[in-house]
Chain A
Amino acid sequence: MTKEEVKGSAEEEQQAAQSKKALKKQQKEAEKAAKKAEKQAKLAADQQTTEEDDFAQDRYGVCVLLQSQEKLDRSLVRVCELTPERAGQTVWVRARIHTSRAKGKQCFLVLRQQQFNVQALVAVGERASKQMVKFAANITKESIVDVEAVVQKVEQKIESCTQQDIELHVQRLFVVSQAEPRLPLQLEDAVRPEVEGEEEGRATVNQDTRLDNRVIDLRTTTSQAIFRLQSGVCQLFRDTLTKKGFVEIQTPKIISAASEGGANVFTVSYFKTSAYLAQSPQLYKQMCICADFDKVFCVGPVFRAEDSNTHRHLTEFVGLDIEMAFNYHYHEVIDSITDTMVQIFKGLRDNFQTEIQTVGKQYPSEPFKFLEPTLRLEFKEAVALLRSAGVEMGDEEDLSTPNEKLLGRLVKEKYDTDFYVLDKYPLAVRPFYTMPDPHNAKYSNSYDMFMRGEEILSGAQRVHDAQLLTERALHHGIDLEKIKAYIDSFRYGAPPHAGGGIGLERVTMLYLGLHNVRQTSMFPRDPKRLTP
């Protein structure tokens, strides 16, 4: 045989084989089609029976779009209020479907409302039909439902829920708002502690994905706790200062001149000229002092055009600013600010324990420690401490970020506090409006406050004498024309005053021992992120 013939016969064989295969395939397909038809017929029959037999038809379904058609006299019970005391009661609850798990004639749902969740059970029986269970199992995750159910005590604690002693036996189930079936991230993945995720090889969600889908990420128990606690910080700040006789003020954020050098301000076009976004309400706070407001504070956005992509810098954050006139010594102001901080820490420790623990589950950290009254060290002592630890630095050198952290560790080791004040900074490293120290011209009446070794507040006694202020400005090479209005406000009698400002996000981050300031900013802004 020639090669060609061989080839030909081989081809024939192949064809034969192929046709055999094709035949089989066809057969299979036919079978499939038959099955499909059968299934469809069955399904249709099922549906028919559904329509015919479903006695619970009006007990479940998808609601029409809620356009405020009716004003129902129905009170919705909050999930956190579902306790064993309510056992036996029939209640209405509105919650999200956190997870659903169908098992034969039963369907277990976990209903979530903010950081609380409860187990609900739809079981075939008197009140629910087979179709209703099926419907319940098919509701997409994160959909919002209205549920009428009986509260039942359970024998064994439900470990996976916050309401561990009871479960809900569902009688009616209506979908108020349906979620799309595919979620950009899974909530369980988003709350998984990082270490555990790595060990088990399970998915975690990285920061950018979280921030891109912030609305869903904010639903996690951790996020819920973080921002509830942050609201608490603001509330405690306001309450404490108001009690101390402070006045809350609002200052403009669009300003004509940068307060501290022009390098890190945002320029905005302002009709035919340009303006800047305020780096701090500094000037306005001081003007209020000159206008006899005595003690003021301000809660509002602050802008920094620093192109630094670090774990602790944002381009827009919420500043909590204090300015206060004092009698004889600027330590009166330090005492007032530190006491405010201590009141905040105490308030959080006493009223936000649930939130702190919730965050701790995902991001474990040591509880925040502090002293009352707050520890105050002087810059010289800090330098001595750092030198004893082997750091070489000059007397008038500013603290670098690593040295700041090291100092935090040294202070924690000796005094066991995460919060302290460092007083008497070298004059050379502070802005022009800082009051020099009367005993040593190299130092100044300025101070920083630290939480877990990171700076949260920078403040000082300000120069309230127009003459000295002009001198200091010239020394710093500042164009007097640009700050004329500022200097002028001190010409007509200005009380001695001092103040400082803290970043809300940073305080929340450091209090909870988190590692990135974006976690404590609801919609963070940094050089690379402008949405959402």
Chain B
Amino acid sequence: MPMYQNGEVDPALKALEARQDEIMRKLYELKAAVDGLAKTVTTPDADMDVTTLTQTTTVSAFTGTADLDALLGKDPGALRDIVINANPASPPLSLLVLHGLLCQRYRVLSSVHVHSSVSSVPPQLLSCLGPRHTESYTRQCFQLGFTLIWKDVPKVQMKFSTQSMCPIEGEANVARFLFRLLGAEPKDPIVATQLDSWVDTAFFQLAEGGSKERATVLRSLNSALGRSIWLLGQEPSLADIVCACCILRDGQALSTPANVQRWLQACRNLEHFHCIAPLLQ
């Protein structure tokens, strides 16, 4: 049977493709459901325990090869500390998720501070980076510092190498920077651009847009997630993280289409999403 007829794809092939996609989707659903079940079976206090899931949900996409010296220039002989200023009124959920991913790859010294410009911060924001590292008294033993400061700032701000870099503003840009440290960004320029585009969509249209705009984005998310399990194909990426965080931040009040709902549940089942669960109540 010829594959092409008059330059058109054989409808039979198309149908096959669709069927396979459907199977993959169902398989993933099943996996998510089993994960969820495993969580409730093994620990009664589901949100608190992440260690039991470490083995089951490790994401291969985030284990690319990255070397901090190659990414950030030569070793300064001291802790490379990333400082993030964020407003407690709108916690940057996507950055907390990325922090979880960084912790899987590097020895990260995480600390949370409250700046004098804000008077009180809810306790769950103070513990959002997880429990303190047991060796936190030896700063030199860590590869990366992640210092989150709750501060009265209009926009999320990142300060890293103050001598050579200007402060980076906007949660989207900080998220891109952190994601690159994982060395898992797509190599294909088209996919990389799609990723950037999803990140923009998430922060400009989902987070800040009106209800109409949000509905439009949800529709396009729904159709994209009809084609593949994750936004950019077979593996979760930054696009999934930021879009999911922006939707989750608004709460469940939105009427979310079926594909999106399933995908959201899949996201929440990822281990590194667990840290934001206490902030969503």
A–B complex contacts, Cβ < 8 Å, 20 sampled? A346-B116, A367-B116, A368-B116, A370-B116, A371-B114, A371-B115, A371-B116, A372-B116, A375-B113, A375-B147, A376-B139, A380-B77, A381-B79, A384-B78, A388-B76, A410-B162, A413-B159, A415-B147, A415-B159, A417-B115
- Chain A residues near B117 (CB, 8 Å)? 369
Given A378-B140, A388-B76, A415 contacting B83 (CB threshold 8 A): yes
Pairs of residues from A and B, 6 with the lowest C-beta to C-beta distance, nearest first: A384-B78, A371-B113, A381-B78, A372-B114, A384-B76, A414-B162
Instruction: Please tell me if B201 contacts chain A, counting CB pairs below 8 Å.
Output: no
- Chain A residues near B111 (CB, 8 Å)? 373
CB pair A378 B139 closer than 8 Å: yes
Instruction: Please tell me if B137 contacts chain A, counting CB pairs below 8 Å.
Output: yes
| In the bound complex, CA of A368 to CA of B169 (Å) | 24
B116 touches which of A345, A381, A413, A439 (Cβ 8 Å): A345
Instruction: Please tell me if B161 contacts chain A, counting CB pairs below 8 Å.
Output: yes
- Chain A residues near B164 (CB, 8 Å)? 388
| In the bound complex, CA of A413 to CA of B160 (Å) | 10
Instruction: Please tell me if A331 contacts chain B, counting CB pairs below 8 Å.
Output: yes
B115 touches which of A369, A381, A384, A413 (Cβ 8 Å): A369
| In the bound complex, CA of A378 to CA of B138 (Å) | 9
CB pair A439 B162 closer than 8 Å: no
| In the bound complex, CA of A410 to CA of B162 (Å) | 8
Instruction: Please tell me if B163 contacts chain A, counting CB pairs below 8 Å.
Output: yes
- How many chain B residues touch A (CB < 8 A): the figure is 25
| In the bound complex, CA of A403 to CA of B13 (Å) | 71
Given A378-B140, A439-B138, A373 contacting B113 (CB threshold 8 A): yes
Residue in B closest to A370 when the chains form the complex, CB atoms: B116
CB pair B140 A349 closer than 8 Å: no
Tell me the residues in window 85-143 of chain B with beta carbons closer than 8 Å to chain A beta carbons: 85, 111, 113-117, 137-140
Instruction: Please tell me if A307 contacts chain B, counting CB pairs below 8 Å.
Output: no
Instruction: Please tell me if A389 contacts chain B, counting CB pairs below 8 Å.
Output: yes
Contacts A373-B111, A381-B78 given; 11 further ones with Cβ under 8 A?
A367-B116, A371-B116, A375-B113, A384-B76, A384-B78, A385-B78, A388-B76, A389-B163, A415-B149, A416-B115, A417-B115
Residue in B closest to A413 when the chains form the complex, CB atoms: B162
Given A370-B116, A415-B147, A384 contacting B140 (CB threshold 8 A): no
Interface centre among B116, B138, B151, B159 (most CB of A within 10 A): B116
Interface centre among B83, B140, B162, B164 (most CB of A within 10 A): B162
CB pair B161 A388 closer than 8 Å: yes
Instruction: For residue B235, give the distance in angstroms from its CB to the closest CB of chain A.
Output: 34
- Chain A residues near B85 (CB, 8 Å)? 416
| In the bound complex, CA of A349 to CA of B114 (Å) | 15
Instruction: For residue B210, give the distance in angstroms from its CB to the closest CB of chain A.
Output: 34
CB pair B113 A388 closer than 8 Å: no
Given A349-B116, A372-B114, A416 contacting B140 (CB threshold 8 A): no
